[in-house]
Structure 1
Amino acid sequence: MKKIYYILFVFCSITTLFAQKKVSVKQADALFKSRSYVKAAEAYEQLPQSKQVLQNLGDSYYYNFQMTSAVKAYGQLFFSHKDSVKKDVFFRYANALKGTKDFDKGDAIMTEYIGFEQNTPKFMKNITRNTPNSFKLQMMSKNKTNGDFGISFYGDKVTFASLRNGGEKNAYGWNDRPYLDLFSATVSSDGQLTKVEPFSDVINTKKHESNATFSADLKTMYFNRSGEKQNKIGDEKVAMIKIYKAELVNGKWANVTMLPFSSDSYSVEHPFLTKDGKKLYFASDMPGSLGSFDIYVVDVNEDGTYSQPRNLGETINTNQREQFPFLTEDGTLYFASDGHQGNGNLDVFMAMKLSDTEFDKPLNLGSTINSEMDDFNFILDEKTGKGYFASNRTGDDNLYTFTQEENKLQYLVEGEVRDMKSMQLLPGSTVKLFNEAGELLEEVVVGKDGSFTFNTEPNKKYKIMAFKDFYIPAEATFDTSQKGKVYIDLQMKVESYYDAEDIINKKDDGTVLIELENIYFDLDKWNIKPQAAEVLNVLLGILKKYPYMEIEIGSHTDSRASDMYNLRLSNKRAASALEYLVQNGIDRKRLRSIGYGETKPLIICPKNDCTEAEHAANRRCTFMILK
């Protein structure tokens, strides 16, 4: 979002710098620290492009969602200083790239940030197919620059925050735009905001007001207001966002009081009151938060007091932003996040309620509602399937109405890949989906959470196989003959070769060897003798038992004779062993032979003076598992 309602409200005290022709780094930094990002960007554009100037310039554009300009500044920063750039800048650069729809580069930067592979287009395609609902959208105002957001239900009306009273309030330093006020409106039959009226001056002040929520009888209102005074937080002076309560007395709003868990040291924002009035959800960056903003809940007691805020925990909250909570009567939580995997920047997610502060794993609502920019403030009328949300996908914050429709019939299969012995997740595993004829339909490489998802068709039979290097593939079959939606949870447990077979061992250097008796060749010969055949037959049995195993046959000589002679001889012996396996039914594609000559002796003799026994030990074949 281009506004500060999801972070800290900060107030600009520097207004005269640009009357000067020259700007110093000190002046630009002062603007940046006061979060006057528009003026800060103008100042940094005039300065030599050092590492700090480029980072602050990129951040100034990023925080005002001028993504094209942010990408340009970050791009120069990464070109010249990537090795010393802090990790959090990787996150912002990746989202800026996604905001310009450069998903290839954005995913590459995000992969470096989180440490496992990202593929946003593929993820969004899969998740959009598998979400319970799709959405039809319509913008609620013909004026796309009103800065509307923060919508909530208000009886048969709605309330929202807007810049519409722009002429009555001073410009706000963050984005050089007016302060926010709260308005009520009626939604017309064609989805437009009509009969728009501001709340009274008791609610709307010279500060920001936004995000109202109401009791069922509409006599109690909670809303956001920015703080009256600025407090020094680190190097910055900022005014925090607070939650206030107002009461309707004789048809007018009165008795405006700040909630006790609001603070001058952190922000509390985006309140949502449950229909029974017993719980108030909100977002905050208070001490103990997992990320920049987390979602919390407090109990609203009958005597008007509040419990201590409770964090909703790691299932919902990440090390980034979680904001704009909304709960339906059935306990489904909708919220915005840029920490869970999504399309880039804030996306809307849903999570089913399990208990007071526990929710199921969040589900991205897909690309029928989420864009590459910020999408947030989702509210829903469960009875009609209609609702509203906000997005800055057009460059400014705007409100949208949506109609929620059930997704077409889906047959969803998902699961996890784990080590059979340790039960640890195995990120990096490959999972393949086959049809009844054995044809490969789709394959995925699972991410950090070890999970996979496939969308299938009705009345079909399928097989899933999970692969991991040095592991025995696991497989499962299923069919989609049932009526309606099918959810299949498969725990794919793969066993490592070295756990399954005594003669297979993992070495300290990570290599996995099949340890067999040594194969002996006559002097200067490479043909397979009966004793060698017996050993290779054991290997043959292993390869037939595990048809996806791939190996390297390595041949080694002692140090006698010349280097070239030994290299040629070892290559011939390794190739001879390979051909024996091929002649006995093993696919050549599963085998690789290599002669090492005397380059990798098992025993290194002092002054190269080996005994006959040591020479014999160095003349050996090794069988290393590749896959």
Structure 2
Amino acid sequence: MKAPYHRHIILLVLILGQLCMAQSSKLKKANKLFLNRAYFEAATIYEDVADTKESLVKLGDCYYYNGLMVKASNTYYKALGKDTLGFSDDVNFRYAHALYGMNQIGRADSIMGILNDKPINTKNFVNRLKNGVPYNYKVAKLKSGGLPGDFGMNFFGKNVVFSSTRDAKGKLYKWNGKPYLDLFQAELTDDNTLINVEPFGKTINSRTHESNAIISKDGKTMYFSRTNDKRYEINEEKIATVKLFKSVLGEDGWSTAEELPFCSNLYSVQHPSLDEDNNRLYFSSDMPGGFGSFDIYYVTLKEDGFGDPINLGGKINTKYREQFPFYSNDDVLYFASNGHQGLGGLDIFMAEKNSVGWDTPLNLGATLNTNADDFSFAVDSNTDKGFISSNRDGTDNMYIFTREDNLRTYIVEGSVMDKNSKELLPNTLVRLFDANNKVVDSVTVGDDGRYLFRTKPNTKYLIEGFRPLYIPSTVEFSTDDSGRIELNIELILESYDDAEEIIVEKEDGYVYIELENIYFDLDKWDIKPQAANTLNILVDLMKKYPRMEVQLGAHTDSRSSFEYNLELSKNRAQSALEYIISNGIEKSRLTAIGYGKSRLLIDCGDNCTENEHAINRRCEFVIVK
């Protein structure tokens, strides 16, 4: 009877071994596909075999890179449960943006706050933008003629050019399991319908991706992105980089596209845009020497070719992604970024040139951007009409927008921080005063330490930051009549104990003014000359800091009854208070408390020495505001 039983055990072990080998083989295949950025196929295998933190993170990445934020977020969360070590910064960044995509703003803000080493509050950020953006946008899908997956619409004379997988034949793109993109042109009717959609010919379209075309002002030169038809090993990954190509319109149509000379098989160069004078070609690249992932660059167009790529610098670029530049016909640079603070995913930003470089990029706000990826922005500043691509509905689509001037309120915003530690100071009261010293607005700042006020043109203002135990800080400013927005007026507050040597914060959490002890005659409470000299120091200090409020606490020694000492200490505290008031300090800034013998520094009972009694007899000065 034992032999069959043993055979069953052996058979079970063999089956389990084969299953384990099969699982291991599948995992190896998935990992190889992942390295080759074949995320769609890799995900289908990981879904069956991923059970470790590493494999679950890769599955989450497969979803993330294909815009499947719900699946990505849930998978990252499952991976977190495998140990207590957390994620690397890169994975945390993707996890946070997946959470933004699910509208889980609080959790996403917490992660981004850690990554940025400062509090992030997206809801407050969005509210601040409402009156800080120059335009409000009305965004709508194409009425008809567009297909899911279409993106990158741009102006092409009176027509438009865009990328699409329509009419595609042949192999699928391993990244997302969808056909390769080609460039198309079409007419856009007044009711936002695409008609007469035609692909460009074989001199432009190839068997790989073509996208993001830009046409020169004279309509005769086209620049566009094309994926390399070969893969090259870069950091153990086999990658097909993206390059920029140029085609010229002749009598026989568009010429065979030629690769631009600053492209490479080792990094991508993509998303071209021309400035208004067609003197500069802007683009995005992950070439070495940048700030991080993808940066915005430009080259100068010359009669004999192109200049060297110039990085736009740290005002524009971050360690994350800056892509899809568009230079408008009113000399404004627009681009997509997930490195500057936004609503989640890629957002559209604008930046204007100045004498030394670029202004700080401005997020275009919630009338245009969403918590998904928003990219491929283009606008005609003469008509205030344009295009944007977005996966806000779950897949890439093209949208039409019109914009109108934001009813420009003049705003001032900034942060409140400690002068010495540079830490943000939440719960600080910030007040806005007009020229007549009248309070016109106030706010208590939140954890992000930020404030924002709406103001009038051609008006002088003063901002004051007030926080208990800190010296109030003020900044004067004025608005002009051009609608310029004053940004980042920082209020720097210094605590009293940092500013004055005689002010000390003790272990009990109270802030004391350390003065020489005040002495009274036995059973008396009138102010003697020595006590007056000490109190004069306090008077001078309170005149120096007119918002300071002080509590005077009088204490007795342990002799005599509790009731007697309580009454005596009250009289002494009141006497000191009246002396200070008589020297010009408002009564509202002072409180006097007699503690009697309830707070002895030395509890020595009936055996106190005269020195110990003297230590217990004291008057303390505590700053309460």
Bin for the TM-score computed over the shorter chain: 0.7 to 0.9
Asked if the contact 1:346/1:376 (under 8 Å) is kept, the reply is yes
**Identity level (%):** 43
Separation of aligned partners in 2, 1:552 and 1:340: 47
Separation of aligned partners in 1, 2:122 and 2:150: 28
Task: Compute the displacement of 1:186 (Å).
Answer: 1.1
Equivalent residue in structure 2 for 1:65, among 64, 67, 74:
67
Q: Report the equivalent of 2:154.
A: 152
Asked if the contact 1:146/1:164 (under 8 Å) is kept, the reply is no
Asked if the contact 1:556/1:598 (under 8 Å) is kept, the reply is no
Task: Compute the displacement of 1:506 (Å).
Answer: 8.4
Matches within 5 A, 1:369-518: 369-415=368-414, 427-428=424-425, 430=428, 432-434=430-432, 438=439, 441-445=442-446, 452-456=451-455, 464-467=463-466, 471-476=470-475, 485=483, 487-488=485-486, 490=489, 492=491, 494-495=493-494, 497=496, 500-501=499-500, 503-504=502-503, 514-518=513-517
Task: Name the CA shift for 1:106/1:142 in 2 (closer, same or farther; >3 Å).
Answer: farther
How many pairs does the alignment contain? 584
Asked if the contact 1:528/1:576 (under 8 Å) is kept, the reply is yes
Superposition TM-score, scaled by structure 1 size: 0.79
Separation of aligned partners in 2, 1:402 and 1:394: 16
Separation of aligned partners in 2, 1:491 and 1:534: 39
Asked if the contact 1:41/1:57 (under 8 Å) is kept, the reply is yes
Q: Report the equivalent of 1:300.
A: 301
Deviations 1:192-214 (A, max 9, x none): 22211111112111111111112
- CA-based RMSD of the aligned residues comes to 4.4
Superposition TM-score, scaled by structure 2 size: 0.80
Task: Name the CA shift for 1:446/1:156 in 2 (closer, same or farther; >3 Å).
Answer: farther
Separation of aligned partners in 1, 2:193 and 2:369: 21
Separation of aligned partners in 2, 1:219 and 1:316: 30
Q: Report the equivalent of 2:333.
A: 333
5+ residue gaps, structure 2: 1-21, 560-564, 582-586, 604-608
Asked if the contact 1:354/1:360 (under 8 Å) is kept, the reply is yes
Task: Compute the displacement of 1:64 (Å).
Answer: 1.2
Task: Name the CA shift for 1:385/1:48 in 2 (closer, same or farther; >3 Å).
Answer: closer
Equivalent residue in structure 1 for 2:111, among 102, 109, 112:
109
Counterpart code for 1:340: H
Matches within 5 A, 1:56-205: 56-81=58-83, 83-140=85-142, 142=144, 145-166=147-168, 168-205=169-206
Task: Compute the displacement of 1:242 (Å).
Answer: 0.7
SS of equivalent to 1:89: helix
Asked if the contact 1:553/1:577 (under 8 Å) is kept, the reply is yes
Task: Compute the displacement of 1:100 (Å).
Answer: 1.1
Asked if the contact 2:553/2:593 (under 8 Å) is kept, the reply is no
Separation of aligned partners in 2, 1:491 and 1:191: 45
Counterpart code for 2:219: L
Task: Name the CA shift for 1:91/1:385 in 2 (closer, same or farther; >3 Å).
Answer: same
Task: Compute the displacement of 1:505 (Å).
Answer: 6.5
Task: Compute the displacement of 1:249 (Å).
Answer: 2.8
SS of equivalent to 1:42: helix
SS of equivalent to 1:41: helix
Task: Name the CA shift for 1:160/1:496 in 2 (closer, same or farther; >3 Å).
Answer: same
Q: Which has the higher contact order (CA 8 A, sep 6+)?
A: 1
Q: Report the equivalent of 1:361.
A: 360
SS of equivalent to 1:300: strand
Separation of aligned partners in 2, 1:275 and 1:39: 43
Asked if the contact 2:154/2:160 (under 8 Å) is kept, the reply is yes
Separation of aligned partners in 1, 2:425 and 2:533: 37
Separation of aligned partners in 2, 1:592 and 1:325: 70
Asked if the contact 2:512/2:620 (under 8 Å) is kept, the reply is yes
Deviations 1:218-258 (A, max 9, x none): 22211111112211112211111111112223232224221
Q: Report the equivalent of 2:12.
A: none
Q: Which piece of structure 1 moves more, 411-420 or 55-64? A: 411-420
Asked if the contact 2:327/2:333 (under 8 Å) is kept, the reply is yes
Matches within 5 A, 1:232-243: 232-243=233-244
Q: Are 1:316 and 2:303 counterparts?
A: no
- When Rg is computed on C-alpha atoms for both structures, the one with the higher figure is 2
